[in-house]
Structure 1
Amino acid sequence: MARIVVIGGGLGGMAAAARLAKLGHEVALLEASGQLGGALAPVERDGFVWDAGPASTLLPAALRDLFRKSGRPLEKELGAELEPLPIVREHRFADRTSIRLPGGSRADQHAAFEELGTGLGDKWVRHVDIYADVWTLLRQHYVEAPWDPYTKGAVPKELAALFAIRETLYKRLRHDFRDERLALVAGYPAVAEGHDLRNVPSWVGVHSYVEQIFGGWRVPGGMGRIAYLLGARLQTRGVTVRTGVEVLDLVVREGRVAAVRTAEGDAEADAVVVAVDPRRLPALAPYVERTMPAIPPVVAHLGLRGDVPELEHELVIHEEPMLTVRPGGIAPDGCTAWTVHGRGKIAEDLLDALARHKIDVREHVVTRVDLSPRDLVEQWRGSPMGVLWQGRGTVRNRLGPSTPITGVYAAGAHAAPGAGVPFVTQSAALVAQLIGPA
């Protein structure tokens, strides 16, 4: 039985701790804040509850596999099924046209884009189709199997060739779409995570394929329920959870991790899983000095009373600034809970910007929580958006699931295979594969 310390109590850390404890290891989880959950922990005020970070997920199999491999199935824990989203999001454009984007169906997406303009459906599905082989390659050699960029010849040639492609997503979208609206839809997932498409490799556009094939899914009661259930799962599996513990560094002896240094003393460890931004730990910082965090958006959580517009699960307004509205929070009777994200040049209040687009809820606000990107990064000790894309080399500059220090592993948004609920969840599975059973 190995003594394993997991640093960070967000989704990646909790998922890794649950899996490793189920494999028979002695696991301790250290979280700097006073609660578990990270970006999944909900925001609550005056009877309103909002998703702090993601409000839905792709690839629900990742969450289902986590719960099945660490205990009871997810749906049994929830007491309900995950809910498929008929419309993943609505996109509104500067010319006042819009598209309601379905997920999980090539034919439905084709029809939706044909309504936007004759021939646009063909152009859209042709673009998405190019990522079918990309997804197969990524799934087999990167998302579902640990990759090792530190050992010569360990990366499959096909994967190495994909990661060496110089083409950016910006260039790919400009090549495939003369209609700017299609490029905005395809580029949105990366832009929403804080990336400049000129610095994003074209293969990252695989998100559109995953969304089309698997669709979007919502957790009944909000994503915060996943954090709550995982916290309970850690207790069931006998994980020692310590909150309010700030990790200062790793203790490395002769090239191998020996302990985790905290303000309260050293915690000895045979292995360590780093599920926070590794730049925060001096022992790992030199290995990720070329990386930067992707900056979160400006966020306003709104508690609204009275009649407000009925919106889709997610509404994106593609103007300056880009606004994303998520109306799916929990609210008292007669009220509604919205979350608004803003990106770009924000020179006015987010609600004033919304009002310019004929969505005026300013007089309906009964409570409000405003959070800057800095607030979010400080609260979460890092960015849930993970590592900023700075060109094709970024994929090799971030850590995970292994690291150059023996006995140290990386999970979470800052590790491979990247940010987003399914990929962060999968990062824990990759670490568990490498460490193996006790």
Structure 2
Amino acid sequence: MSRSVSRSVSRVVVVGAGVGGLAAAVRLQALGHRVTVLEQADEVGGKLGVLRHDGYVFDTGPSLLTMPHVLADVFAATGAPLEEVLELERLPVACRYRFPDGTVLDLPGEVEAIPAALDAALGPGRGAQWEAFLDHARRIWDVTHEPFLESPIGLGDMVRLSRRASDVVTVAPWRTLRGLGRRHLRDPRLLQLLDRYATYTGSDPRRAPAALAAVPYAEQRWGSWYVPGGLGRIATALVDRLVELGGEVETGAEVVEVTVRGGRADGVRLADSSRRDADVVVANADARAVYERLVGTRAARREGARVRRATPSLSGLALLLALEDAPGPQPHHQVLFAEDYDAEFDAVFGLRGPPRPVERPTVYVAAPDDPAVVPGPGAGAWFVLVNAPPHDPRGGVDWDAPGLAEDTADAVLDLMAERGLDVRTHVRHRAVISPADLERRTATPGGSIYGTASNGARSAFLRPANASPVPGLYLVGGSSHPGGGLPLVLLSAGIVAGLVGPPA
């Protein structure tokens, strides 16, 4: 059951200026609360970070926006519409895929064109296979999007929703995403394409629930979008809207404790020992970090123990490449698939051995064709990412070990060249962001991008709740319900605003 707070609420402190925290702040300020956002870093954005170097601008987080109507709803509900604030550009090619056999697929940005493109690239009948799968995925979306993605949910809600036998059969909580794919897709390249969508939640497709089929359905139904100037502009636009409404954002303000009085959150304490009183605290931070580091109640410790038992999501190692005379033209997004995807997931999640860097990983490349992010013609600001196990010096991979991150980056560039995308002689500057760096930048344990993995139905649908066990404390962002990725993070902000409600 959802919980709301007293209608006398007026002061709200949001801990963290990631997209979820900023979107929640904007919605709550528009409802009439007095909202202050406190961010430990010197810049806003959280995992939607931006790095600038000699005229190059890099998004260090998401490279695409899907389900743009979710972002539009934040602005429409709080003032001027999105189109007056940000330009969105729909990509004609959602992604170029290179499969291990050398086949190249340019997946169109318009869903109607996808079957023909699959037939042309992979062979006749592949489009029909994908259409059959996507039809099942649509039915999963229809069943799950409102109760599971747009509303607060707990175990009782799942039991209640499971009483409709037809819905249970559609969602098939006993089946994995890989298992669902095998029912519809006979081409191994289509299965590999589907497996990739499990990584959107930091998960293993062999254990992630079939319900995640809703992810490719939503992406392909609403298309893939880019924000000229970089996706970091989304965070800037949210800050601007918040300030226009009378809210405040303070950077360089590290929260070290959520204070509790009479069993209820009543403010926060900062690293400089100052205190901010609040009627409601919204934590846009990793759920595990909130319960283990910021809140000291017994209920928080119990919840922290539960979160700690869950499998951490995968992390990533990123290369920010400032290129001269960049090879082109290139699609905005490319995926160079691993020869052995299962070996990749085994390494990342510590199966058949301890967690370890992937020897030959899938490589994700974002190469925006955008003059606003480069210093001049022919230059390229490329973001390259490979899946990686979280930073865990005690029981896994120590990404701070001398040379490990840089050696891995060298290997990734060599692998790109081997797979037909050689930029080694074009690199003017390179920055490497390891899982250890992600942990430090975002205060996320291990640098796990999505908090916990959706490995199993309970993990997927019972992420840490937005209403915490501590009255007056709410969680927003990718590690809490409904999950990671820009659209779900924005939905979590709407859920939190609904739980808090307007002041009296």
Q: Give 2:374's match in structure 1, choosing from 331, 338, 346.
A: 331
The amino acid that maps onto 2:376 is D
8 A contact 1:10–1:40 mirrored in 2: yes
| 1:302 equivalenced with 2:321 (yes/no) | yes
Partner of 1:141: 147
8 A contact 2:96–2:104 mirrored in 1: yes
8 A contact 1:104–1:211 mirrored in 2: no
The amino acid that maps onto 1:267 is R
For normalisation by structure 2, the TM-score amounts to: 0.81
Partner of 1:415: 480
Structure 2 counterparts to residues 20-419 of structure 1, below 5 A: 20-78=28-86, 80=87, 82-105=88-111, 107-115=112-120, 116-149=122-155, 157-158=163-164, 161=168, 165-191=173-199, 193-263=201-271, 264-281=273-290, 282=292, 283=295, 284-287=300-303, 288-319=307-338, 320-328=360-368, 330-334=373-377, 335-343=379-387, 348-382=410-444, 383-419=448-484
Shift of 1:113: 1.3
Cα distance in 2 for residues equivalent to 1:171 and 1:209: 17
CA RMSD of aligned residues (A): 2.3
Partner of 2:403: none
- Flag structure 2 segments of 5+ consecutive residues without an equivalent: 1-8, 339-359, 390-407
The amino acid that maps onto 1:43 is L
Determine what percentage of the aligned residue pairs are the same residue. 35
8 A contact 1:402–1:408 mirrored in 2: yes
8 A contact 1:301–1:370 mirrored in 2: yes
8 A contact 1:351–1:361 mirrored in 2: yes
8 A contact 1:148–1:402 mirrored in 2: no
Q: Secondary structure at the match of 1:393?
A: helix
8 A contact 2:172–2:211 mirrored in 1: no
The amino acid that maps onto 1:108 is A
Shift of 1:165: 1.1
8 A contact 1:301–1:368 mirrored in 2: yes
Cα distance in 2 for residues equivalent to 1:395 and 1:307: 40
For normalisation by structure 1, the TM-score amounts to: 0.93
Shift of 1:155: 5.5
The amino acid that maps onto 2:124 is T
Q: Secondary structure at the match of 2:323?
A: strand
Q: Provide closer, same or farther for how the CA distance between residues 87 and 370 of structure 1 changes in structure 2, counting only shifts above 3 A.
A: same
Q: Provide closer, same or farther for how the CA distance between residues 401 and 368 of structure 1 changes in structure 2, counting only shifts above 3 A.
A: same
Q: Provide closer, same or farther for how the CA distance between residues 163 and 380 of structure 1 changes in structure 2, counting only shifts above 3 A.
A: farther
Q: Provide closer, same or farther for how the CA distance between residues 155 and 271 of structure 1 changes in structure 2, counting only shifts above 3 A.
A: farther
Cα distance in 2 for residues equivalent to 1:307 and 1:402: 47
Shift of 1:428: 0.5
Q: Secondary structure at the match of 2:479?
A: coil
Q: Provide closer, same or farther for how the CA distance between residues 193 and 141 of structure 1 changes in structure 2, counting only shifts above 3 A.
A: closer
The amino acid that maps onto 2:419 is H
Cα distance in 2 for residues equivalent to 1:197 and 1:128: 17
Q: Secondary structure at the match of 1:289?
A: helix
Q: Secondary structure at the match of 1:260?
A: strand
Q: Secondary structure at the match of 1:370?
A: strand
- After TM superposition, the structure 1 stretch with the greater mean CA deviation from structure 2, 201-210 or 395-404, is 395-404
The amino acid that maps onto 2:386 is G
Cα distance in 2 for residues equivalent to 1:122 and 1:164: 22
Cα distance in 2 for residues equivalent to 1:165 and 1:123: 22
Q: Provide closer, same or farther for how the CA distance between residues 164 and 431 of structure 1 changes in structure 2, counting only shifts above 3 A.
A: farther
Shift of 1:89: 0.3
The amino acid that maps onto 1:367 is H
Cα distance in 2 for residues equivalent to 1:318 and 1:374: 25
- Flag structure 1 segments of 5+ consecutive residues without an equivalent: none
8 A contact 2:316–2:449 mirrored in 1: no
